[in-house]
Amino acid sequence: MRVSTTRPYSSLSQKSQQWKPRGIRFGVYTVGLGAVYLVVQNRVNAEAPPSKPKYRISEIRKHGAKAEKIWVYRGTGVYDITDWIPGHPGGEVILQAAGGSIDPFWKIFSIHQKQDVYDILEQYRIGDIDPRDLVNGEVPADDVYDPFVQDPERDSRLKQHSSRPCNAETPGTLLTEQITPNELFYVRNHLWVPQDGPDTHKILVELPDGTDREYTMAELKSKFREHTITATLQCSGNRRSHMTQRSRSTNGLQWDVGAIGNATWTGVYLRDVLQDVGLSITELPKDAKHVQFTGTEAYGASIPIAKAVDPQGDVLLAYKMNGVDLPPDHGYPLRVLVPGTVAARSVKWVSKIIVSEEESTSQWQRRDYKCFGPNEGSKPDWSRAPSIQETPVQSAITSFREISAHSVDDRKALQVYGLEEDSIALTGYAFAGGGREIVRVDVSYDGGHTWRQAVLEEADTLGSKNWSWKRWSHVVPKREVGLEVVVKAVDEGYNTQPDTHGPTYNFRGNLATAWHRLSYEPK
Amino acid sequence: MRVSTTRPYSSLSQKSQQWKPRGIRFGVYTVGLGAVYLVVQNRVNAEAPPSKPKYRISEIRKHGAKAEKIWVYRGTGVYDITDWIPGHPGGEVILQAAGGSIDPFWKIFSIHQKQDVYDILEQYRIGDIDPRDLVNGEVPADDVYDPFVQDPERDSRLKQHSSRPCNAETPGTLLTEQITPNELFYVRNHLWVPQDGPDTHKILVELPDGTDREYTMAELKSKFREHTITATLQCSGNRRSHMTQRSRSTNGLQWDVGAIGNATWTGVYLRDVLQDVGLSITELPKDAKHVQFTGTEAYGASIPIAKAVDPQGDVLLAYKMNGVDLPPDHGYPLRVLVPGTVAARSVKWVSKIIVSEEESTSQWQRRDYKCFGPNEGSKPDWSRAPSIQETPVQSAITSFREISAHSVDDRKALQVYGLEEDSIALTGYAFAGGGREIVRVDVSYDGGHTWRQAVLEEADTLGSKNWSWKRWSHVVPKREVGLEVVVKAVDEGYNTQPDTHGPTYNFRGNLATAWHRLSYEPK
Could you report the per-residue pLDDT of B118-162, keeping only the tens digit for each?
998 999 999 999 999 999 999 988 777 888 889 999 999 999 999
Nearest-by-CA chain A residue for B281: A311
Strand partners, B167: B162, B188
Mutation test of the interface with chain B: which of A496, A510, A516, choosing the one with the most B Cβ atoms within 10 A?
A496
Catalytic residue, from B188, B190, B201, B240: name it. Answer: B188
Res B11: pLDDT: 31
N- to C-terminal Cα separation, chain B: 62
- Is A29 labeled as catalytic in the residue annotation? no
Give the span between the Cα atoms of B377 and A476, in whole angstroms. 20
A493 touches chain B (CB under 8 A): yes
Start-end of H helices in A19-161 = 57-61, 103-108, 115-122
The helix/strand/coil state of B102 is coil
Of B29, B446, B66, B510, the C-alpha closest to B244 is B510
Q: Do A490 and B451 touch (CB under 8 A)?
A: no
Average pLDDT over residues B260-272: 98
Give the span between the Cα atoms of A18 and A87, in whole angstroms. 10
Res B149: pLDDT: 87
Average pLDDT, chain B: 89
A390 touches chain B (CB under 8 A): yes
Contact A238, A257 (CB under 8 A): yes
Res B417: pLDDT: 86
A455 touches chain B (CB under 8 A): no
Res A146: pLDDT: 82
B493 touches chain A (CB under 8 A): yes
Give the span between the Cα atoms of A1 and A29, in whole angstroms. 18
Contact A360, A91 (CB under 8 A): no
- How high is the ipTM of this complex? 0.85
Catalytic residue, from A63, A190, A235, A299: name it. Answer: A235
Residues 6+ apart with CB under 8 A from A204: A212, A213, A214, A351, A352, A353
Strand partners, A269: A316
Give the span between the Cα atoms of A439 and A432, in whole angstroms. 10
Characterize the bridge pairing of strands B260-269 and B316-321.
antiparallel
Band of pLDDT at residue B10, cut at 50, 70 and 90 = very low
Res A31: pLDDT: 32
B128 touches chain A (CB under 8 A): no
Band of pLDDT at residue B23, cut at 50, 70 and 90 = very low
Give the span between the Cα atoms of A374 and B390, in whole angstroms. 27
Nearest CB among A488, A493, A498 relative to B434 is that of A493
Mutation test of the interface with chain A: which of B307, B391, B496, choosing the one with the most A Cβ atoms within 10 A?
B496
Res B110: pLDDT: 75
Q: Do A499 and B504 touch (CB under 8 A)?
A: no
Q: How far is CA B417 from CA A414, B234, B403, B423, in A?
A: 64, 32, 12, 10
A415, amino acid identity? Q
Mutation test of the interface with chain B: which of A393, A452, A474, A494, choosing the one with the most B Cβ atoms within 10 A?
A494
Mutation test of the interface with chain A: which of B495, B515, B517, choosing the one with the most A Cβ atoms within 10 A?
B495
What is the nearest CA distance from A496 to chain B, expressed in angstroms? 7
Contact A511, A371 (CB under 8 A): yes
Give the span between the Cα atoms of B259 and B186, in whole angstroms. 6
Catalytic residue, from A88, A161, A190, A367: name it. Answer: A88
Q: Do B492 and A452 touch (CB under 8 A)?
A: no
A150 touches chain B (CB under 8 A): no
Which of A370-374, B97-101, B217-221 bottoms out in mean pLDDT, i.e. has the lowest?
B97-101
Q: What are phi and psi of A159, to 5 degrees?
A: -95, 110
Q: How far is CA A246 from CA A257, A488, A518, B490, in A?
A: 15, 16, 11, 21
B388 touches chain A (CB under 8 A): yes
More confidently predicted of A35 and B269 = B269
Residues 6+ apart with CB under 8 A from A313: A271, A306, A307, A339, A464
Nearest-by-CA chain A residue for B486: A503
Give the span between the Cα atoms of A502 and B446, in whole angstroms. 14
| pLDDT digits (tens), chain A, 523 positions | 233 333 332 333 333 333 333 323 333 323 333 333 333 333 334 455 556 899 999 999 999 988 999 999 999 999 999 998 887 877 777 888 899 999 988 887 777 888 888 998 999 999 999 999 999 999 988 777 888 889 999 999 999 999 889 999 999 999 999 999 999 999 999 999 998 878 899 999 999 999 999 999 999 999 999 999 999 999 999 999 999 999 999 999 999 999 999 999 999 999 999 999 999 998 999 999 999 999 998 899 999 999 999 999 999 999 999 999 999 999 999 999 999 999 999 999 999 999 999 999 988 999 999 999 999 989 999 999 999 999 999 999 999 999 999 888 888 888 888 999 999 999 999 999 999 999 999 999 999 999 999 999 999 999 999 999 999 999 999 999 999 999 999 999 999 999 999 999 999 999 999 999 999 987 6
Q: Give me the total of CB pairs closer than 8 Å, taking one residue from chain A and one from chain B.
A: 114
Nearest-by-CA chain A residue for B372: A440
- pTM > 0.90: yes or no: no
Res A195: pLDDT: 87
A81 touches chain B (CB under 8 A): no
CA angle (A250, A251, A257) in 5-degree steps:
65
Q: Do A451 and B374 touch (CB under 8 A)?
A: yes
Res A298: pLDDT: 86
Res B20: pLDDT: 32
B75 touches chain A (CB under 8 A): no
Give the span between the Cα atoms of A285 and A6, in whole angstroms. 16
- Is B371 labeled as catalytic in the residue annotation? no
What is the nearest CA distance from A156 to chain B, expressed in angstroms? 34
**A65 CB neighbour count, 10 Å cutoff:** 12
Q: Do B451 and A390 touch (CB under 8 A)?
A: no
What is the nearest CA distance from A452 to chain B, expressed in angstroms? 7
Q: Using the CB atoms, write b or e for B45-62: b if 16+ within 10 Å.
A: eeeeeeeeeebebeebee
A404 touches chain B (CB under 8 A): no
Q: How far is CA A342 from CA A305, A470, B493, in A?
A: 16, 17, 10
Residues of A in contact with B390 (CB under 8 A): 436, 492-494
- Is B201 labeled as catalytic in the residue annotation? no
- Express each pLDDT in A426-449 by its tens digit: 999 999 999 999 999 999 999 999
Give the span between the Cα atoms of B87 and A108, in whole angstroms. 74
Burial (0-12, 13-18, 19+ Cβ within 10 Å), B428: buried
Nearest-by-CA chain B residue for A282: B311
Res B197: pLDDT: 79
A310 touches chain B (CB under 8 A): yes
Q: What are phi and psi of B334, to 5 degrees?
A: -150, 135
Res B49: pLDDT: 55
Contact A204, A219 (CB under 8 A): no
A304 touches chain B (CB under 8 A): no
The helix/strand/coil state of A478 is helix
Q: Do B499 and A496 touch (CB under 8 A)?
A: no
- Is A369 labeled as catalytic in the residue annotation? yes
Contact A404, A422 (CB under 8 A): yes
Give the span between the Cα atoms of A172 and A260, in whole angstroms. 10
- Is A88 labeled as catalytic in the residue annotation? yes
Q: Do A492 and B390 touch (CB under 8 A)?
A: yes
CA angle (B449, B451, B455) in 5-degree steps:
160
**A47 CB neighbour count, 10 Å cutoff:** 8
3-state secondary structure B124-148: CEEEEECHHHCECCECCHHHCCCCC
Q: What are phi and psi of A141, to 5 degrees?
A: -55, -35
Strand partners, B82: none
Residues of B in contact with A283 (CB under 8 A): none
Q: Could you tell me where the beta strands, DSSP code E, fall in A60-155?
A: 71-74, 77-80, 125-129
A389 touches chain B (CB under 8 A): yes
**A350 CB neighbour count, 10 Å cutoff:** 25
Nearest-by-CA chain A residue for B441: A373
**A489 CB neighbour count, 10 Å cutoff:** 29
Res B393: pLDDT: 98
What is the nearest CA distance from A456 to chain B, expressed in angstroms? 12
Q: What are phi and psi of A487, to 5 degrees?
A: -130, 145
